[in-house]
Amino acid sequence: MLSWFADLLPVGSGAPAFLLPDQQGDVFVLNLNRNKNIVLVFYPADNTPVCTAQLCEMRDNWQKVRDKGALIVGINPGAADSHGGFRKKHDLPFPLLVDNGKRVAKMYHCDGIVVRRTVYVVGRDGKILFAKRGKPAVDEILAAIPEAAAK
């Protein structure tokens, strides 16, 4: 229960490595995405009003995030079939990861009675660039993501 009150992982610290399956069973490995900035959206549940609004805002800004060379992943302990239905219903272009047992939520200090709504941005170097509880504005998240390298 103490982790419910845990502070966020500090900006500048290394992001804990993890691998989790997505809604289709494909495995997402954080360390294999070091060439991208990763927006980790920890959210309590599929198909709830605030979670739906938050993830739909991410969907609506998907191209802006991609233009910055970033990838979004949603994370919660819900089942793959729930994630799949939620993703399809709201046309979410990013994976929803299944954190069975809230193992990754614990590593990122987002666990408790429910997963605490939290957004982290992990930089290309594996360091945390942004950390905030709640539902930060997409523009605030985008401001934390460095511009993509010239192609």
Q: Residue 42 pLDDT > 90, yes or no?
A: yes
Residue 56 appears among annotated catalytic residues:
no
pLDDT of residue 115: 84
Rounded to an integer, the average pLDDT of 127-147 is: 94
Q: Residue 151 pLDDT > 90, yes or no?
A: no
Residue 9 neighbours by CB under 8 Å, 6+ apart = 15, 16, 108, 109, 120, 128, 131
pLDDT of residue 34: 85
The more confident residue out of 4 and 89 is 89
Name the residue ranges covered by the structural domains of the chain.
Answer: 2-9+22-128
Catalytic member of 51, 71, 105, 121: 51
Q: Which CATH architecture has domain 2-9+22-128?
A: 3-Layer(aba) Sandwich (3.40)
The more confident residue out of 27 and 34 is 27
What are the φ and ψ backbone dihedral angles of 40, each rounded to 5 degrees?
Answer: -95, 120
- Give percent of the chain with pLDDT exceeding 70: 93
Rounded to an integer, the average pLDDT of 48-52 is: 94
| Mean pLDDT estimate for the chain | 91
Going by C-alpha positions, the residue among 73, 64, 76, 74 that lies closest to residue 144 is: 64
pLDDT of residue 85: 96
Residue 107: pLDDT band with limits 50, 70, 90? very high
